[in-house]
């Protein structure tokens, strides 16, 4: 959902050509699949279409191609740090986008309320992130990735 929300906000701001946005997982078990149907429904309920997204596993080139890689939880930060070169910029979404240090929970095993909660946290964080990146645009190429 983070990729779709951030893409939507960037498009609304008229900045589509200024950012490269993608998402990937640390595992490849869902590679090539669309988002969970409940994520699609939640995003659609808020006017965002994520049905065209497909899961992929993070690649070594991502650490070179993206200026900022955001992980949704500490376990993924740790997993990324074990495979990333030292110069990679890996941050916890809750630190940089929300400034709360919180992990974004995986709503997979819960009900619709969990997907709505995650959507709300991601929307808040993506809005703040876009505002921050807009202010820092002169020193950032705008390549952003999120990892679950």
- Identify the CATH number of the domain in which residue 19 sits: 3.40.50.2300
Question: What is the per-residue pLDDT for 139?
Answer: 37
Q: Is 73 a catalytic residue?
A: no
Tokens 């030292």 -> residue = 86
Question: What whole-number distance in Å separates Cα of residue 55 and Cα of residue 24?
Answer: 6
Residue 47's closest CA among 5, 96, 97?
A: 5
pLDDT tens string 77-106: 999 999 999 999 999 999 999 999 999 999
Structure letter (DSSP) for residue 110: S
Contact, 26 vs 79, CB < 8 A? yes
Find the catalytic residue in 67, 95, 103, 106: 106
For residue 84, the enclosing domain spans 2-147
What residue ranges in the chain does DSSP mark as E strands? Answer: 20-24, 68-71, 90-92, 143-147
How is residue 109 written in tokens? 């095993």
Can you read off the two tokens belonging to residue 113? 């309320």
Q: Which residue from 75, 117, 126 is spatially nearest to 96, judged by alpha carbons?
A: 126
15, 138 contact by CB (below 8 A): no
Can you give the pLDDT at residue 10? 96
- pLDDT beneath 70, residues of the chain: 135-148
* pTM score of the predicted model: 0.90
- How many domains are there within the chain? 1
Query: Positive or negative, the Cα torsion across 8, 103, 84, 58?
Result: negative
What's residue 134's pLDDT? Answer: 79
What is the DSSP-derived secondary structure letter of residue 66? -
């Amino acid at each position: 959902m983070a990729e779709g929300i951030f893409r939507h906000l960037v498009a609304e701001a008229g900045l589509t050509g200024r950012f490269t946005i993608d998402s990937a997982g640390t595992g490849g078990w869902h590679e090539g699949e669309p988002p969970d149907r409940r994520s699609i429904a939640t995003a659609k309920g808020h006017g965002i279409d994520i049905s065209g997204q497909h899961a992929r596993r993070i690649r070594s080139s991502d650490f070179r191609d993206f200026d900022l890689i955001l992980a949704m939880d500490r376990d993924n930060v740790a997993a990324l740090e074990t495979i990333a070169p030292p110069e990679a910029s890996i941050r916890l979404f809750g630190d940089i986008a929300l400034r709360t240090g919180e992990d974004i929970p995986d709503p997979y095993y819960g009900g619709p309320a969990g997907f709505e909660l995650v959507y709300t946290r991601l929307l808040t964080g993506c809005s703040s992130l876009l505002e921050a990146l807009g202010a820092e645009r002169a020193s950032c190429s705008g390549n952003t990735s999120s990892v679950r």
